[in-house]
Amino acid sequence: MMQRIPITWGLVIRFCTVAIFVLLSVASLMFSAYLFVTVNSTYTFVLACAFLGLSLFAGFFNFYASVSYFRSYFYDRYIDAITARLKPLKRLPTVAVIMPVYNEDTEVVQKDMKRLLDLDYPKNKIKFYMVDDSTTRGTKEKLERFCKNNGVIFFHRDNRKGYKAGAVNNMLKHSKEEFVAIIDADEYLINTGFLKDLLPYFSDDKVAYVQTEKRSQKGTFFSEAVDLFDGFFFRFIQPHRALNNTALFAGSCGVIRRSAIDVVGGFPEYVIEDTFFSLESDMHNYKSIYVPKVYALGKPMKTYTALVKQQWRYNYGDTQFIRYYAKRSMESKRLSPWAMLDYIGHGFGLNYLSLVLIAFTVLSVFVSFSTLPFVHMTIKQLIQATYISRYLEVFGGIAFVLSMIAPAVLTKVYFGSLKKGFMIFFLNFALAIARSKAAIAAITHKSSSWKPLRAGTTRSHDIRYAIMNTKAEIVMSASLLSMGFFAMMTSNIPGTVWLLTYGVLYLFATVLIYKYG
Distance CA 70, CA 314 (A): 25
Q: Torsion over CA of 372, 377, 379 and 382, rounded to 10 degrees?
A: -50
Q: What's the whole-model pTM score? A: 0.86
pLDDT < 70: residue spans in the chain: 1-7, 9-10, 31, 34-35, 38, 40, 332, 350-353, 367, 369-404, 406, 455-458, 494
Task: Output the pLDDT for position 2.
Answer: 41
pLDDT tens for residues 412-445?
Answer: 777 778 888 888 888 989 999 999 999 999 999 8
Task: Output the pLDDT for position 487.
Answer: 80
What are the chain's domains? 23-58+351-516 (no CATH), 88-302 (3.90.550.10)
- Closest by CA to 422, choosing from 215, 228, 218, 216, is 228
- Closest by CA to 134, choosing from 144, 125, 124, 126, is 144
| Three-state secondary structure of 248-301 | CCCCCCEEEEHHHHHHCCCCCCCCCHHHHHHHHHHHCCCEEEEEEEEEEEECCC
Phi, psi (5° rounding) for residue 97?
-100, 120
Task: Output the pLDDT for position 377.
Answer: 38
SS3 215: strand
Task: Output the pLDDT for position 416.
Answer: 77
Task: Output the pLDDT for position 370.
Answer: 61
Task: Output the pLDDT for position 346.
Answer: 83
